[in-house]
Amino acid sequence: MAKTVLQVENLTKRYGNVEAIRGVSFEVQEGEVFGLLGPNGAGKTSTIEILEGLRTPDGGRVSVCGLDPQRNPEELKREIGATLQATSLPDKMRVLEALKLFATFYERRRSPEELLKRFGLAEKRNAFYSTLSGGQKQRLALAMALVNDPRVLFFDEPTAGLDPQVRREIYDVIEELRREKKTIVLTTHYIEEAERLCDRVAIVDHGKVIAQGTPRELKQRSGDTTRIEVRLAKPASEATLKGLDGVTDCHALDGAFILHCQRPPQAIVSLVKHLEAEGNELVNLEISTPSLEDVFIELTGRRLRD
């Protein structure tokens, strides 16, 4: 059986009158990639910073590799590696110099030269940090997170602000670590990132975990139905559209209607007949299979990036 290496129970955190984390609970098993998925301000970073020992919780219990981040900070640092949302090094620090410096912080360490090769930075070993591209800086941050050969890795928004090509490069790196059975906890607000990289996902909103499971499980919970998004020329009733043949549910969103159906052809025929009878017209129609975005919309009534 998989071993639990990280436990969070009823975690809470306040900043003045703002309750950033409101009773978050989850577990992470050894060798899995666990994602905290949610919009900016959902409480993801506060949660991960408490797990890293960077912030003090107001309530709840946290255990990482059997250690309490507040009571055992030095022991914890030897067992984890992390990349923050923003990594900044001195402009004139060279790439190899940065890795060697970080290696001196630990008794257990990996070869800086080996990490340079692994992350495609060998040719940049003597380059100043200020000359690196955004993707190279992020790869260096990932390399530094691995310098102590950690048991658990924390990646906070690892691809935020990167262009699509560089983002895919970072995905490849994380997928390689996943194949090596590294335990990884990452935060993201990118749906495709969570679906591609994570074994399990906790959807976080307003400081609470509102759903968790594998991406497949979460999508099945949404009814495993096809989504038909329609925009109409004239207003229509949700209740009327929900009552059409083949439609199991309907809700309005951003000026459109989202129809849930298990028999799309029947639903579309029924919709067209209804619109003709009402003197209404289709402006746009899009068909899609369930996604984590759909799960988020169903649970919160809004899109992830709202």
Q: What is the DSSP string of 127-162?
A: SBGGGS-HHHHHHHHHHHHTTT--SEEEEESTTTT-
pLDDT reported for residue 294: 75
Residue 240 lies in a domain: yes
- Tens digits of per-residue pLDDT, 17-28? 999 999 999 999
Strand pairing class (183-188; 33-37) = parallel
- Whether residue 171 sits in one domain with residue 116: yes
8 Å CB contact between 78 and 107: yes
- Is the pLDDT reported for residue 289 higher than 80? no
Residue 306 lies in a domain: no
What are the tokens at 216? 């497949």
- Whether residue 200 sits in one domain with residue 58: yes
Name the domain boundary from 184, 203, 219. 219
- Tens digits of per-residue pLDDT, 49-67? 999 999 999 999 999 999 9
Can you name the residues that pair with 285 across neighbouring β-strands?
A: 230
Domain that holds residue 107: 4-219
- Whether residue 244 sits in one domain with residue 126: no
- Whether residue 270 sits in one domain with residue 123: no
Strand pairing class (18-29; 4-15) = antiparallel
- Whether residue 117 sits in one domain with residue 243: no
- Whether residue 156 sits in one domain with residue 35: yes
Residue 297 lies in a domain: no
- Whether residue 92 sits in one domain with residue 59: yes
- Report if pTM > 0.85: no
For range 66-90, the mean pLDDT? 93
- Is the pLDDT reported for residue 239 higher than 80? yes
- Whether residue 215 sits in one domain with residue 229: no
- Measure the CA dihedral 110/112/117/122, to 10°: 180
Residue 296 lies in a domain: no
- Cβ atoms < 10 Å from Cβ of 28: 23
Q: What is the mean pLDDT of the chain?
A: 91
Residue 299 lies in a domain: no
Residue 305 lies in a domain: no
Rounded Cα distance, 2 and 13, in Å? 29
Residue 71 lies in a domain: yes
Task: Please tell me the total count of domains within the chain.
Answer: 2
pLDDT reported for residue 299: 77
Rounded Cα distance, 283 and 233, in Å? 6
Task: Report the CATH number that the domain containing residue 104 is assigned in CATH.
Answer: 3.40.50.300
Nearest to 26 by CA among 176, 170, 187, 148: 187
Residue 303 lies in a domain: no
For range 224-237, the mean pLDDT? 88
- Is the pLDDT reported for residue 202 higher than 90? yes
Backbone angles phi, psi at 121, to 5 degrees: -115, 10
pLDDT reported for residue 220: 75
- Is the pLDDT reported for residue 223 higher than 60? no
- Whether residue 166 sits in one domain with residue 39: yes
For range 283-288, the mean pLDDT? 91
Task: Report the CATH number that the domain containing residue 250 is assigned in CATH.
Answer: 3.30.70.100
- Cβ atoms < 10 Å from Cβ of 40: 11
For range 152-175, the mean pLDDT? 91
- Is the pLDDT reported for residue 224 higher than 70? no
- Tens digits of per-residue pLDDT, 107-150? 999 999 999 999 999 999 999 999 999 889 999 999 999 999 99
